[in-house]
Amino acid sequence: MNSIEVTPSQDAGMTTPEPGLRRQVMSYTKDLMLVRHKMEKGWVGAKHQHPHEQMVFIISGHIVFESPTGKIKARAGDSFIVPGNTDHQASALEDSEVLDVFTPYREDYAPKS
């Protein structure tokens, strides 16, 4: 049996993939990945897409999410799903913290050995 490991939340260990955004890769397997993001008020992410399905849960704050189907605003406690291969972009209306779940896991986010 495999052991169960806890990944502690560590602000000091977060990376900064772009100005105004910090990221911590939490627990993951080859099929699933949990990622914590902290966004500064005013941050506007790059428009992008990826083949992974993405589930988003807003821990705190207020974000705007744009996709071909329109624009939504999400606040603390809200969640939504982004289908794979969907163009999308997020921005922060206030300091925000978000949990993203990706399936399968994102090789581009995986910690480098």
Query: The CATH number of the domain where 50 resides is what?
Result: 2.60.120.10
Residue 57 lies inside a defined structural domain of this protein: yes
Residue 62 lies inside a defined structural domain of this protein: yes
Beta strands across the sheet bearing 15-18: 15-18, 21-28, 33-39, 96-103, 53-60, 79-82
Cα–Cα distance measured from residue 112 to residue 81, given in angstroms and rounded to the nearest whole number? 27
Specify the number of domains making up the chain. Answer: 1
Q: What is the pLDDT of residue 13?
A: 83
Contact 94, 65 (CB under 8 A): no
- Domain with 98 in it: 19-66+79-103
Query: Residue 89 in 3-state DSSP?
Result: strand
Q: What is the pLDDT of residue 5?
A: 87
Average pLDDT over residues 46-51: 95
Please give the C-alpha separations between residue 62 and each of 8, 11, 113, in angstroms, as whole numbers: 24, 20, 34
Answer yes or no: is pLDDT of 90 > 60: yes
Average pLDDT over residues 8-20: 91
Residue 96 lies inside a defined structural domain of this protein: yes
Average pLDDT over residues 63-91: 97
Contact 97, 37 (CB under 8 A): yes
Which residues, in sequence order, are CB contacts of 2 under 8 Å at separation 6+?
Answer: none
Q: Per-residue confidence at 113, pLDDT binned at 50, 70, 90?
A: low
Residue 46 lies inside a defined structural domain of this protein: yes
Contact 104, 76 (CB under 8 A): no
